[in-house]
Amino acid sequence: MSDSRVPRKRRFLVCEPRHFAVQYAINPWMRPDVTVDVELAQEQWRELLRAYRVHGHTVETVEPVPGLPDMVFAANSAVVVGGRVFGSLFHAPERRPESLHYDTWFKAAGFDVRRPESVCEGEGDLVFTGRYVLAGSGFRTTRAAHHEVQEFFGVPVIGLTLVDPYFYHLDTALFVLDDGTHSREENIAYYPDAFSPGSREVLARLYPDAVVATREDAMAFGLNSVSDGLHVFVAPGATALADQLDRRGYVPVPVDLSEFQKAGGGIKCCTQEIR
Ligand code: ARG
Which atom of ligand 1 sits closest to the CA of residue 73? 8
CATH code for the structural domain at 2-273: 3.75.10.10
| pTM for the structure as a whole | 0.97
CA–centroid distance, 174 to ligand 1, in Å, is 14
Which residues face 231 on adjacent strands?
251
Coil vs helix vs strand at 61:
strand
The pLDDT of residue 3 is 57
For the Cβ of 172 lying below 6 angstroms from any atom of ligand 1, the answer is yes
User: Which of 179, 65, 73, 55 lies closest to 129, judged by CA?
Assistant: 179
The pLDDT of residue 184 is 73
Give, for ligand 1, the residue of 12, 23, 70, 268 to mutate: max count of ligand atoms closer than 8 Å to Cβ. 70
What is the spatial distance between Cα 156 and Cα 61, in angstroms, rounded to a whole number?
Answer: 30
**What residue segments make up the domains of the chain, in order of their start?**
2-273
What is the spatial distance between Cα 213 and Cα 150, in angstroms, rounded to a whole number?
Answer: 28
Which residue minimizes the CA distance to atom 1 of ligand 1?
263
Exposure string for 175-212, b = 16+ CB within 10 A, e = fewer: bbbbbeeeeeebbbbbbbebbeeebbebbeeebeebbe
CA–centroid distance, 79 to ligand 1, in Å, is 15
Q: Is the dihedral of CA 219, 198, 121, 85 positive or negative?
A: positive
Q: What is the pLDDT along the chain (275 residues), one digit of tens a residue?
A: 445 899 999 999 999 999 999 999 999 999 999 999 999 999 999 999 999 999 999 999 999 999 999 999 999 999 999 999 999 999 999 999 999 999 999 999 999 999 999 999 999 999 999 999 999 999 999 999 999 999 999 999 999 999 999 999 999 999 999 999 887 789 999 999 999 999 999 999 999 999 999 999 999 999 999 999 999 999 999 999 999 999 999 999 999 999 999 999 999 999 999 99
What is the spatial distance between Cα 149 and Cα 85, in angstroms, rounded to a whole number?
Answer: 10
For the Cβ of 75 lying below 6 angstroms from any atom of ligand 1, the answer is yes
Backbone angles phi, psi at 272, to 5 degrees: -100, 130
Is 169 one of the annotated active-site residues of the chain?
Answer: yes
Q: Do residues 203 and 190 make contact, with C-beta atoms less than 8 angstroms apart?
A: yes
